[in-house]
Amino acid sequence: MTTLTSSFPFLLYSKQPPWLICSPPQSSPITTFNNGIKRTRPFSLFSPLSSSRWWSKETVAIVTGANKGIGFSLVKRLADSGLTVILTARDVERGYKAIEQLRNEHGDGDDLHLYFYRLDVSDPASIKAFVSQFEKDFGVLDILVNNAAVSFNEIHENSVEHAEIVIKTNFYGPKLLIEALLPMSRQSTSACSRILNITSRLGSINKMRNPKMKEMLLSENLSEEQIEGIVNLFIENVKKGTWKSQGWPEIWTDYAVSKLALNAYSRVLATRYKDCGLRVNCFCPGFTQTSMTRGKGTHTAADAAEVGARLALLPPHQLPTGKFYIGFSPGIVSKL
């Protein structure tokens, strides 16, 4: 029987750099979105980026799904800040048009360290080709923003017709990309590599109505295998037509499950590499005006990207790991 995991041979890309091999730290108590949320001051999040600048043009960032929307605006913000930024997109023509637009908007495009690479995160072969070319061209990575995602539902719809491609794109794709790029994470005494996964509060654990799966997700010993097991069970339920009665999230179910899995995987990574120079966090931009929301929302993609960029560029001494930031003004922070 062919499963989603058999289409994503992670073991081919599982080699880790020596500096990332360490004993997992002790797990801390888990706090969910509806249990133990704390309001925090946004520290330097909204202070001028230049006041705590730790990066340079040698700092390399990758943003996936970046030919439009939040991804495009994130690339613009990071490139304008002086980083070397890799814009990725599935469509080559749209990717190059995005690069051209960014250079034109910047005025002096020669000052931008901006590159386009084709990448379809739903396709393992595309990920492998991208990582191979990136390694040849750059060899090191400081920031990865997993923004690429899909949903085929209208705002008030809840079809699971395309559940498999949603799961492949929104969960397995970022997971494979992260594991393939880990060996290139830069080792530095003055900074730390960072992963920011653009996710959703729809993927909060409290959206899961199945008590056994919720208990598993809340466990301090949650594993990647358990997360993949939950995702594969969802796909099986969809194929059997039983998904409505199995306690899955009720709103945008396939999208919610994909983001729930990505949130959970982010927590596993954050715990594993907490003391090894890698920071992993998630950011829910809220109801943003993008193609996924059919242009509806409370704020623009540029607004969301401004917050996302500041999160991605937090000074090393202020950068946490295993956190879930919510909204345009992320005063709400919880543990994943």
Virtual torsion, Cα 268, 274, 280, 284, nearest 10 deg? 80
Separation of first and last alpha carbons in the chain? 33
Contact 184, 139 (CB under 8 A): yes
Better pLDDT: 38 or 234 = 234
Cα 182 from Cα 176, distance rounded (Å)? 10
- Give the tens place of pLDDT for each residue, 271-319: 999 888 899 999 988 756 666 656 666 678 788 888 899 999 999 988 9
pLDDT band at 233 (very low <50, low <70, confident <90, very high): very high
39 in any annotated domain: yes
8 in any annotated domain: no
Q: Which residue has the tokens 């494979």?
A: 176
Q: Bridge-partner residues for 126, per DSSP?
A: none
Using the predicted structure, report yes or no on whether residue 158 has a pLDDT greater than 60: yes
Catalytic residue among 172, 255, 265, 273: 255
pLDDT band at 226 (very low <50, low <70, confident <90, very high): very high
Q: What is the CA radius of gyration of the chain?
A: 19
Task: State yes or no: is 255 an active-site residue.
Answer: yes
pLDDT of residue 133: 98
Percent of the chain predicted with pLDDT > 90 = 62
> Tokens in use for 16?
């880790």
- CA-angle at 133, arms to 142 and 108, nearest 5°: 65
Using the predicted structure, report yes or no on whether residue 16 has a pLDDT greater than 60: no
Cα 56 from Cα 83, distance rounded (Å)? 6
Write b or e for each residue in 198-219: b if 16 or more Cβ atoms lie within 10 A of its Cβ, otherwise e. Answer: bbbbbbbbebbeeeebbebbee
Cα 107 from Cα 109, distance rounded (Å)? 6
> Tokens in use for 10?
């992670």
19 in any annotated domain: no
179 in any annotated domain: yes
Using the predicted structure, report yes or no on whether residue 65 has a pLDDT greater than 80: yes
**Which residues, in sequence order, are CB contacts of 47 under 8 Å at separation 6+?**
none
- Give the tens place of pLDDT for each residue, 105-143: 887 656 899 999 999 999 999 999 999 999 999 999 999
Contact 137, 84 (CB under 8 A): no
pLDDT of residue 131: 99
Which pTM value belongs to this model?
0.83
224 in any annotated domain: no
225 in any annotated domain: no
Average pLDDT over residues 24-39: 32
Cα 136 from Cα 321, distance rounded (Å)? 29
75 in any annotated domain: yes
> Tokens in use for 211?
């008590």
**Per the structure, how many domains does the chain have?**
1
Q: Which domain holds residue 282?
A: 30-158+169-205+265-335
pLDDT of residue 164: 97
Of the ranges 28-42, 153-167, 188-202, which one carries the lowest mean pLDDT score? 28-42
pLDDT of residue 29: 30
Residues listed for the chain: 336
**CATH number of the domain encompassing residue 326:** 3.40.50.720
Better pLDDT: 284 or 195 = 195
Percent of the chain predicted with pLDDT > 70 = 77
3-state helix, strand, coil in the chain (%, to 5): 45, 15, 40
Q: Which of 141, 285, 163, 332 is nearest to 231 (CA)?
A: 163
Cα 71 from Cα 89, distance rounded (Å)? 10
Mean pLDDT for the chain?
A: 82
pLDDT of residue 305: 83
pLDDT of residue 298: 60
- Give the tens place of pLDDT for each residue, 70-109: 899 999 999 999 999 999 999 999 999 999 999 998 876 5
Which amino acid, residue 261?
Answer: A
Average pLDDT over residues 215-220: 94
55 in any annotated domain: yes
